Amino acid sequence: MATMKRSVVSCFIIKDYLGKAQVAMFRRSGKVRTYPHQLGAISGSVDKEDASPLATAWRELEEETTLTSKSLALIRQGKPYIFVDDKIGREWTIYPFAFQLKTVGEGGAGEAGIQIDWEHESWGWYNPMEVEDTPEFGGVPRIAESLRRVWFEKDIGETPGKILRDGLKRLQTDQSGEQELAGLALEILRDVVREMDSSWSWDQWWSKTRFVAWHIWKNGRDSMEATIKSVLLSTLADVEKIVSDQVDQGEQVSSATMIATAVEELTYRTHSRQSDPARLVPAALEELIFGNL
């Protein structure tokens, strides 16, 4: 069977309940062609006519829940990824998004505004930390992987996740200039990684560090994307080189030592503003740092 390629959006609706986040999961009906009766987010194909995957997301949300931008606010986008489901002969490119459900007090329709169509038979609220890619959870393939790409608390932990969440809000609202915001981006990265689990292997820790940097770039300040990307990429490339040089000296270096070196170097560069926001970074460097997340 030939593999069919399709690009789809995966839209997660988030609400706050007594200070804790909950995510809406929708059980697909028996009338859909793929993954009937399994839990998933609001999803749909990206058409050639769509202006962007985000435009697709807004369309699918309205079609499948009746919610519009009056009741939802985009809070995060996740890095797209590809996986193959050999069982049904599909290669999926997934574009994840997270939307905050506005309460009636915030001018939205609230939970009562969610009216599902024929594509789903039921829906409910779940703890995002408990959404798993397991048969017991009963979700569509890679549902937890898609969720972690927008709900980074699931990937890096609650405490560093809160630091990143608060940091993104600062980036979005701070009215400082380009240099100051570039410095703020580095400060956020430093503060988050300081709180990440140092017992992870180096590969795990470094992957999550790059993942945090990607979110600071893409979910921080739209008007400063290029500047923030430049300072983050150049800093991470320099930090990785220093750690690699440490390993290349021939001594047995533990993951804990490599992580400590990376945190120390990142802290130094944040304090001294060693990275130049105006420094041009080649496309190959972006692929090296962010390409395989």
How many Cβ atoms sit within 10 Å of the Cβ of residue 175?
6
Q: Where in the chain is the domain with CATH 1.20.120?
A: 154-290
Hunting for tokens 């000296």 — which residue is that?
A: 249
pLDDT of residue 281: 64
Contact (Cβ atoms closer than 8 angstroms) between residue 142 and residue 87: no
Determine the Cα–Cα distance for residues 30 and 115; give it in Å rounded to an integer: 18
- Give pLDDT tens digits for 107-163: 999 999 999 999 999 999 999 999 999 999 999 999 999 999 999 999 999 999 999
Give the rounded percent of residues in the chain with a pLDDT score beyond 70: 96
Determine the Cα–Cα distance for residues 13 and 1; give it in Å rounded to an integer: 35
- Give pLDDT tens digits for 47-66: 999 999 999 999 999 999 99
* Token output for 182: 């570039």
Q: What is the pTM of this model?
A: 0.92
The span from the first CA to the last CA of the chain, in angstroms, equals 29
pLDDT of residue 249: 74
Cα separations (Å) of 138 from 63, 117, 118, 243? Answer: 24, 21, 20, 41
Task: List Cβ neighbours of 61 (8 Å cut-off, separation of 6 or more).
Answer: 11, 13, 42, 67, 68, 72, 99
Q: Where in the chain is the domain with CATH 3.90.79.10?
A: 4-150
Q: Residue-wise over 133-154: b if at least 16 C-beta within 10 A, else e?
A: eeeeeebbbbbbbbbbbbbbbb
- Give pLDDT tens digits for 83-120: 999 999 999 999 999 999 999 999 999 999 999 999 99
CATH value of 4-150 in 3.30.930.10, 3.50.50.60, 3.90.79.10, 3.40.50.720 = 3.90.79.10
Q: Of 188, 125, 133, 134, nearest to 161 (Cα)?
A: 188
* Token output for 65: 């829940």
Could you please report the per-residue DSSP string of 110-152?
-GGG----TTEEEEEEE-GGG--SSTTTTBSTTHHHHHHTT-T
- The topology (CATH level 3) of 154-290 is Four Helix Bundle (Hemerythrin (Met), subunit A) (1.20.120)
